[in-house]
A and B are shown apart, each in its own frame.
Chain A
Amino acid sequence: MTPRIQILPDHVANQIAAGEVVERPASVVKELVENALDAGASRIDVSLRNGGKTEIRVADDGCGMDREDALLALDRHATSKIRQAEDLARISSLGFRGEALPSIAAVSRFSLETASEDGVGTGVRVAGGRLQAADEIARRRGTTVTAAGLFGNVPARAKFLRSAAAETRAASEAVILLALCNLQVGFSLRSNDRELLSLGPATLRQRIGQIWGEEEASSLIDLDGPDGELGVTGLIQRPDEARTGRRRFTFANARPFVDRGLGRLVDEAYRTTVVPGLRPDYFLFLNLPAESMDVNVHPAKTEIRFRDRERVERMLVEAVRRRLARISSTPPLDRAPEPAAVVRPTAPAEAPRAAAAAGDGAPALVREGSTPDQFALFMTEAGGDEEPSEAGEIEPLAAQLRPELWQLHDSYILAATRRGLLIIDQHSAHERVLFEETMRRFRESGGEAQRLLFPLTLKLSPSEYSAAEELAQMLGRVGFEIEPFGDRTVIVRSSPNPHEHFDAERCFRDMIHELADGSPLVDAARNQHERIAKSLACKGAIKAGQSLSQDEMADLFDRLFATELPGHDVHGRPTIVRLTLEELARRFGRT
């Protein structure tokens, strides 16, 4: 008997489609919350039983539906959000396929209660994809969707559901994701009648604080506003706060999307500011014309294709780098120092820190006019902006107004600024300067090497010798002209001369050792140029304990602030610690 082609009954077709849209309770939650958001809700309450396996309920106060629409909504490809193919090119709603509700209804005991006005509404019940009842009910404006016994009629799928706790966690992640890009909407999440989340309308920073605690919120800094309409906004983590990078979110026009490539670019932008192996959190919002991206590329709508991806990438990287360039990664002094390499477990929400650390709304202690004269050294423009800067901000420096500099313990440079004091670690600072100068040497031709009157003849280990042979040409470009001489001996005929106290032999020996045998620092480098630049910066920079003249300090200060990322050395450690007048006043009990 030849099999005959048959059109599948709707309820079977829907079950198949549901396989793509509805994978687990979290995907149901996601679709329902999206619908509520598309309906213009100002409050969305989600409740789960048994991780959503027993029941998922999502209630909103959005526009609701009339009876006709409520029934239509359950048909496949029934949507109010687009009308024609062209609309697909400029989607601004979260839904557009008209697939979510029928898919959910196909694999659960489904009920929809909705009203477009307070008063009379419609209640629809579906089981196993078949309409059971459609009644008139009394309810307020809005919609409540309940999906019970998920995959009860598809045992094969039910088997793949995980523990209630795991499903709850996934569902709450879905809510959080949407809560992050809909700040004006209030959300709640309950699981078995226990409240897991309760989020009122908030700023992004507040919302992050509500979700993960103050600790996370205050580790973030605001990206600069975009120029004009298009651009990138959001919060990124201060480099010294970077840990495991578990909270990394990207949104395009308030639509969450997943894109590992962009994540790598952000890491790239942070490179050399964070300790290798650590990753910053971020919450990035791209604002783009709706027609410049295609959201219809993934069944779960989690991916986006950008028409001009390169431009988006550039925009993103520039926004992050521009912001990083302006900060000192260093927290104010009142926070316990924490070794950057220690990965901290998720901290429970802790008592808010000193206001100064919080960034937002920190009271400006020193008001205009009350700034003592001796701290007015850093006036950038006469009577200029007096806004209190965010914690960790480096004030814009007017080059011609370099502050007075002091050296402390032959290791730190102190600089008075308008808002307090900068403490610069001379070695870290010079590392940053040398690293960027060396990278530039690789990029641009040019540069020079100081010829040595007495060439150094150095006996190396076998691995060092082969590294020296292999890297001879590249080392030459940074100033070390070397000649492998056989018998593990190299002759160094010239060297860089980055500062007056530079010790060419020691630097070369340390470098070749590091380049041959590796180190966490150079192993994190992306290519040979960067390995060499990092190593040279680390080994060749002015050492702690080196006394510096006024001119040398001034020179280092100017060159540090001329770098792209003055706030960090090549290990990702801070170069600058800032002590604000506010902090000083607090310490002296003057608050």
Chain B
Amino acid sequence: MKLSITREKLQKGLGAVSATIPARTTLPVLSNILLRADGDSVQLCGTDLDISVQVTIDAEVETAGAVTVPAKKFSEITRELEDAPVHLTADQDQIRIECGRSKFKLYGLPEGEFPTFPEVDFSESWKMSAEALQELISHTSFAASTEESRPILNGVLWQLRPESTTMVATNGHRLALMTKDLHEAGAPEADLIVPPKALGQVERLFDGEEQLEIARSANHLAFRSERRAVFTRLIEGPYPNFDQVIPKDNDKQVVANRAGLESAIRRMAVVASDQTHRVRLLFEPGAVKFRVQTPDLGEAEDELAVDYDGESLEIGFNANYLLEVMRYMSDDDVKLSFKAPERAATLEPAEGDSDYLCLVMPLRLLD
């Protein structure tokens, strides 16, 4: 393998792939990046076995070939090089890096040791703009669980339907759900459960304006644009029926200024217990009163004028959960719906066509 490449492109490519390289690994080749030169480009690949990332960059390829290179050192060297063409020459398992008068030699590992990427057939695929997909991801994947005993909830449910697509994530305490219209769906319906970490790579790697093709094999899902690709393992199993638990009969509704609500809860959270982060919200006509009492620490109270004309009702929440879901509400006002102190409450942007909904389970007050 022999090729030349601009330093800038090489550095960008390495940056994109390095994020998948595991910090600690028992399989040494996973600390390496695979370089594969062919035609007029070079492919950089990295993987942690669950998620793989592939980037293609322009290069002047003299001899095709492949080699694996220690990712960390290669990136560090590239960052320090002067802005001049970089010449890479592979000689068996070694690679020579030359740029201006700087010369390096790194010892790699045989290409054959690098894990092969999953085979995914793109003949049947969904098409979507990266922007739309990234919006779905950022609004939902934070809510996925990290509990080990329910691995299904560790994933994000992605429902693909002929006209629309929905992403849902929950840890059983709060849930985030977003739906988007999809006009050129193409492929058949599917329910996929995707690890949030892979979705994080999708968020990071693709530019918003890129068009993405998404396809699956039995166990894997692949996202690709013209020059980049992410592969991930899918989580198996049926996702719990979330539709059934989203309350349809929450008859009490409050419309509140999002910033006002958020800062009041933030203030309350300072005095809330470190363990439960409990705040009480007392909804009264025209206002919501906030109250926190933490043994040994102290108390706090606050009040916010809101649009509410239902009966008085007090509900306890984990302040962190409320703050988390409000972060992604884009409107100035949010609509909070609830029914009873022990039932799920929902939050949505007050205006808009309501394609985003978050649900927060209350803290039942035991006193």
Using a CB–CB distance below 8 Å, which chain A residues touch chain B? 437, 440, 444-454, 476-477, 479, 481, 494, 497-506, 555, 558-559, 562
Contacts and interface: CB of A to CB of B under 8 A. Distances in A.
Contact of B367 (A447, A481, A503, A555): A447
Nearest to B342: A451
A446 B367 CA distance: 4
Interface residues of B, number: 31
B361 interface: yes
Closest 5 CB pairs of A and B: A448-B363, A451-B361, A446-B367, A449-B364, A503-B147
B13 interface: no
Interface stretch (B185-193, B270-278, B347-355): B270-278
B245 A453 contact: yes
> By DSSP majority rule, is chain B's interface helix, strand, loop, or mixed?
loop
Interface string B102-135: 0000000000000000000000000000000000
The CB with the most chain B CB atoms within 10 A, among A449, A453, A500, A506, is that of A453
Contacts of A505: 147, 149-150
Contacts of A500: 146
B274 A451 contact: no
Contact of B366 (A448, A453, A454, A559): A448
Interface in B173-192: 173-175
A92 B229 CA distance: 91
Given A448-B365, A449-B364, A506-B147, 11 more contacts: A440-B295, A446-B365, A449-B366, A451-B342, A451-B363, A453-B170, A453-B245, A502-B147, A503-B147, A505-B147, A505-B149
A503 B145 CA distance: 10
Contacts of B362: 451
The CB with the most chain B CB atoms within 10 A, among A440, A448, A504, A506, is that of A448
Nearest to A499: B275
A503 B148 contact: yes
Given A453-B170, A497-B173, A476 B342 contact: no
A453 B148 CA distance: 17
Interface string B273-298: 01110100000000000000001100
A453 B275 contact: no
Contacts of A451: 342-344, 361-364
B318 interface: yes
B238 interface: no
B240 interface: yes
Given A477-B366, A505-B147, A555-B274, A448 B316 contact: yes
A559 B367 contact: no
The CB with the most chain A CB atoms within 10 A, among B275, B343, B363, B365, is that of B275
The CB with the most chain A CB atoms within 10 A, among B146, B148, B149, B170, is that of B149
A62 B245 CA distance: 89
Nearest to A441: B366
A476 B365 CA distance: 11
B240 A454 contact: yes
A1 to B, nearest CB: 82
Contacts of A440: 295
A446 B147 contact: no
Interface in B239-254: 240, 245
Contacts of B174: 453
Given A450-B361, A451-B364, A504 B147 contact: yes
Given A437-B275, A454-B240, A447 B361 contact: no
A453 B173 contact: yes
Contacts of A454: 172, 240, 245
B363 A449 contact: yes
Contacts of A453: 170, 172-175, 245, 344, 359, 361
Contacts of B275: 437, 497-499
A116 B170 CA distance: 91
5 contacts: A446-B367, A447-B366, A448-B363, A453-B175, A501-B147
Interface string B144-160: 00111110000000000
Interface string B76-95: 00000000000000000000
Nearest to B293: A446
A476 B276 CA distance: 16
Contacts of B344: 451, 453
Contacts of B278: 448
Given A454-B240, A454-B245, A497 B318 contact: yes
A562 B295 CA distance: 12
A448 B361 contact: no
B295 A446 contact: yes
B361 A445 contact: no
Contacts of B316: 448
B17 to A, nearest CB: 24
Contacts of A559: 274
The CB with the most chain A CB atoms within 10 A, among B170, B318, B359, B366, is that of B366
Nearest to A552: B274
A547 to B, nearest CB: 11
B83 to A, nearest CB: 37
A558 B364 CA distance: 26
Contacts of B366: 445-449, 476-477, 479
Nearest to A477: B366
A449 B172 CA distance: 13
Contacts of A481: 364
Nearest to B173: A450
A452 B363 contact: no
A446 B318 CA distance: 15
Contacts of A449: 363-364, 366
A452 B361 contact: yes
Nearest to B364: A449
A506 B149 contact: yes
Contacts of B274: 555, 558-559
Nearest to A543: B148
Interface in B157-213: 170, 172-175
Nearest to A505: B149
Contacts of B173: 450, 452-453, 497
A476 B367 CA distance: 11
A453 B361 CA distance: 6
A440 B364 CA distance: 18
Nearest to B245: A453
Contacts of A479: 366
Nearest to A546: B146
The CB with the most chain A CB atoms within 10 A, among B146, B344, B363, is that of B363
A510 to B, nearest CB: 10
A507 to B, nearest CB: 9
B276 A448 contact: yes
B148 A506 contact: yes
B361 to A, nearest CB: 4
The CB with the most chain B CB atoms within 10 A, among A449, A481, A504, is that of A449
A437 B173 CA distance: 22
Nearest to B321: A450
The CB with the most chain A CB atoms within 10 A, among B295, B343, B359, is that of B295
B172 A448 contact: no
Nearest to A498: B275
A451 to B, nearest CB: 4
Nearest to A506: B149
Nearest to B244: A454
Nearest to A451: B361
Given A450-B361, A453-B361, A498-B275, A445 B149 contact: no
A498 B147 CA distance: 13
A459 B149 CA distance: 15
